[in-house]
Structure 1
Amino acid sequence: MAMIGFVLAGGYGKRLLPLTSRTPKPFMQLLGRQLIDYSLDMLREAGVDDVVIIATQGFSGMASAGREGVRVVEQRGLDIQGALRTAYEEAVSSKEREAIVVYTGFLASPNTIAKLAVEYYQTSGFPVVLALASAATGLETYGFVTVDYRGAVRDFMWESQEANRWGMGRGYVFGGVMVSGVEELEEASRRPFAESMKSMAKQGVLGGVQWPGRWVEIGYPWDILEAINMLLDGAGTRIARGARVSRSAVVGDNVIVDEGAVIEDGAVVKGPAYIGRDVRVMSGAVVEGFSSIEQGSVIEENAIVDRSYVGVGVRVGALSEVRGSVVGEGAVVGPGAHLVDGYPERLPERLRWLAEYLGEKVKLGAVVSPGHEVQCCTVSGKGAVLP
């Protein structure tokens, strides 16, 4: 396809703090892959061969591009406006006439949302097309849109109390994919993104195509748990040749065991679950449904991990439990510690609204900062953020 693709990977992930204090959001691992890898897959599914990753200045070396037709450049300018300006300049230098932009951290299942947006762009006649997702799920907080019967976007509301009140539980939000001509890409980069979208909506040149599948925008730590649920659902069972699974271990359906992982005698892994590269699940440990144990982590004897994300290089101590929680890279959960889930009641002030938004629909555990050590026999959770 004669179209250039861009992966916007210039954000630090401020809303994900403290999880992104060491590694910017685009390079976080989820099911053993960086978030930018899922964006690259979207573009490949759309038939785009020429791809540019636009990374935060100073972090371009963290991108695990390693694919033919993919190159990495550092973002010039600030925020989304700077990223789009960089994309425009790269498209012009490549002498391309059309472009597709994918924002890192927007995930879909099946992974064909970019393909849908391209097809709609080619058939609808709109100079600019946004992929739209239902606002009925997830914790979307910006990019609410209204669409008329012709598929034209009539309004675009960025992050605000008004937008949150309007969008909760209904309507559509920006789904992280934009397709346009290069001239329109230049126009979008002249002003902050929300202002550009509002202007184009008023001009009648902005179209929206509604994504019918599952969708997650990883904005807050809890969105990681929803993403795991979506990505592992129906993923099947795959055990790498280089993994070692003891004959007395119990491995259920829909379990992915990556290269170098070790599952010892008497360990139990109930699917759906992901056991990452070089992970060690020790004797008697239990990993339960919709959990992701990332590269190099250790789950010690008789520990329990349930519906949780365990980041790169984490150690979960013997006889401890981690339920409904998100544990940052390099953290330690001490022996006998308990991170329990429940209705959120201990979120910090900046996330206080989250408890009201979730209500009793979702039980949460704890968010553990990268490198933090949860002391032996600690009992915490219910929305606690452990520094």
Structure 2
Amino acid sequence: MKAVVLAAGKGEGLFPFTQKEQKESITVLGKSVISYVLEGIKKAGIREAVVVVNENGKQVQESVNVDLSLEFVEQKRPGITGAVKDGMEKVGEDFLLAFGDVIADPEFYVSLMNIYAMGARAVFSLVPVYEGLQTYGLAKIVGDRLEVVKEGSTLALAGAYILPYGDFDDLLEYFSRISPMAKYFIWSGNWIDIGFPEDLINAVEMLLKSAKTIVSNNATVSKTALIGKGVIIEDGAVVEDYAVIKGPAYIGRDAYVGSYSLVRDYSSIEEKAVVGAYCEVAHSLIEPYAEIGSKSYVTYSVIGKGARLGASVITSNYPAVIVRGKVNKLGALISSGENISHGSVLPPNFKK
């Protein structure tokens, strides 16, 4: 069996960030979002996948570091139905359909294949959700069968399916048509659909929750620095004098944390990102090559690839915002390559 992975969406919930950076190529704990999907597919035993992309497909392709046979296809037909058809015609048989913006444990995909191996023609993954139901496709269990519905359920379609090859005009209509003969499983492990900035912040927390302290022998950590529990420090990273990394936290390859800085509470400093001296970073995702100027305070924020915050920049995360029916905090969403002037105090929910 082959997989079809969808990575052609515009990522409108992450605008303006995704006007420069394709959502599936965003880095979280050293891996692109789509790499989490592809690693799960590989663990499930699939070795070939068609990845459907848009005009930013090169970003997605360059972000992948998974040993799979991949064919990248630019979407030609409109909408999500068109994307599935563009991928499916390259496969020509029953296939695993995966959305490229879901971060989940690899066992999520293994469960799908295990049920298929028991003789199922189609398999659906479901996940319980209790907020923002209108943002998901939903399914309801009626007796011993599954029904795809628009409301009246708290089970969301979880973004990975095994589908029979066939013709259809609308993907959800096709789901409804085949659901009575489909098997399903309800996933209760790690799972998050990346649709909004807050989802990226929550993904960092989800992935670091069970982290154990691992400090690479090839990292340079000052003897006066303090490293807490649940801290991962990768090869080539530098942590300067009197810096405090209070876990859970991730310091990526060749990243730099300056003297007297504090990185804490589910933060991820990605590859070659720089945090200057006397900074505080909390609950934030700092993308590769981004720079945080000295004496800055960054919390509940996503800072894009190569973005630069000047010295003494402050982000604010109150008042909170409602996302998918849940109260969320967002300090700032700074797009790739953007610059923030020295001494800026950014209002809550700032986006550039």
Q: Give TM-score, length-normalised by structure 2.
A: 0.91
**Counterparts of 2:55 and 2:331 in 1: how far apart (Å)?**
34
Counterpart AA for 1:155: V
**Counterparts of 2:59 and 2:329 in 1: how far apart (Å)?**
37
> Does 2:47 correspond to 1:81?
no
Q: Structure 2 vs 1, CA of residues 66 and 304 (structure 1 numbering), >3 Å: closer, same or farther?
A: closer
Matches within 5 A, 1:141-160: 141-150=135-144, 152-157=145-150
Q: Give the secondary-structure state (helix, strand or coil) at the position aligned to 2:192.
A: strand
**Counterparts of 2:190 and 2:130 in 1: how far apart (Å)?**
11
Q: 1:365 aligns with which of 331, 338, 350?
A: 331
Please name the residue that 2:106 is paired with: 111
> Does 2:174 correspond to 1:196?
yes
Q: 1:100 aligns with which of 96, 101, 115?
A: 96
**Counterparts of 1:210 and 1:329 in 2: how far apart (Å)?**
35
Q: CA deviation at 1:124?
A: 6.5
Please name the residue that 2:156 is paired with: 173
Matches within 5 A, 1:1-387: 3-57=1-55, 59-60=57-58, 62-63=60-61, 64-77=63-76, 78-92=78-92, 97-108=93-104, 110-123=105-118, 125=120, 127-136=121-130, 141-150=135-144, 152-157=145-150, 163=151, 171-181=154-164, 183=165, 186-187=166-167, 190-201=168-179, 204-344=180-320, 354=322, 357-359=325-327, 362-382=328-348, 384-387=349-352
Do the aligned residues in 2 keep the contact of 1:323 with 1:339 (CA within 8 Å)? yes
Counterpart AA for 1:90: K
Q: Structure 2 vs 1, CA of residues 381 and 292 (structure 1 numbering), >3 Å: closer, same or farther?
A: farther
**Counterparts of 2:275 and 2:6 in 1: how far apart (Å)?**
34
Please name the residue that 1:351 is paired with: none
Cα offsets for 1:130-175 (capped at 9, x unmatched): 111111368871212212231x221233xxxxx5xx56xxx11111
**Counterparts of 2:114 and 2:324 in 1: how far apart (Å)?**
38
How many residues are treated as equivalent by the alignment?
A: 350
**Counterparts of 1:138 and 1:31 in 2: how far apart (Å)?**
26
**Counterparts of 1:207 and 1:191 in 2: how far apart (Å)?**
23
Q: Give the secondary-structure state (helix, strand or coil) at the position aligned to 2:118.
A: helix
Q: CA deviation at 1:57?
A: 4.0
Q: CA deviation at 1:103?
A: 0.9
Q: CA deviation at 1:14?
A: 2.0
Do the aligned residues in 2 keep the contact of 1:128 with 1:206 (CA within 8 Å)? yes
Q: Structure 2 vs 1, CA of residues 191 and 52 (structure 1 numbering), >3 Å: closer, same or farther?
A: same
**Counterparts of 2:130 and 2:351 in 1: how far apart (Å)?**
29
Do the aligned residues in 1 keep the contact of 2:317 with 2:329 (CA within 8 Å)? yes
Q: CA deviation at 1:227?
A: 0.7
**Counterparts of 2:79 and 2:225 in 1: how far apart (Å)?**
48
Do the aligned residues in 2 keep the contact of 1:99 with 1:180 (CA within 8 Å)? yes
**Counterparts of 2:90 and 2:51 in 1: how far apart (Å)?**
11
Q: Structure 2 vs 1, CA of residues 46 and 22 (structure 1 numbering), >3 Å: closer, same or farther?
A: same
Structure 1 vs Structure 2 CA RMSD: 2.3
Q: Give the secondary-structure state (helix, strand or coil) at the position aligned to 1:119.
A: helix
Task: Report which stretch shifted further, 362-371 or 302-311.
Answer: 362-371
Please name the residue that 1:348 is paired with: none
Do the aligned residues in 2 keep the contact of 1:21 with 1:370 (CA within 8 Å)? no
Q: Structure 2 vs 1, CA of residues 331 and 221 (structure 1 numbering), >3 Å: closer, same or farther?
A: same
Counterpart AA for 1:154: E
- Any stretches of 5+ residues in structure 1 without a counterpart? 158-162, 346-353
Do the aligned residues in 2 keep the contact of 1:147 with 1:208 (CA within 8 Å)? no
Task: Report which stretch shifted further, 235-244 or 214-223.
Answer: 235-244
Cα offsets for 1:334-364 (capped at 9, x unmatched): 222211222326xxxxxxxx368224xx433
**Counterparts of 2:265 and 2:131 in 1: how far apart (Å)?**
20
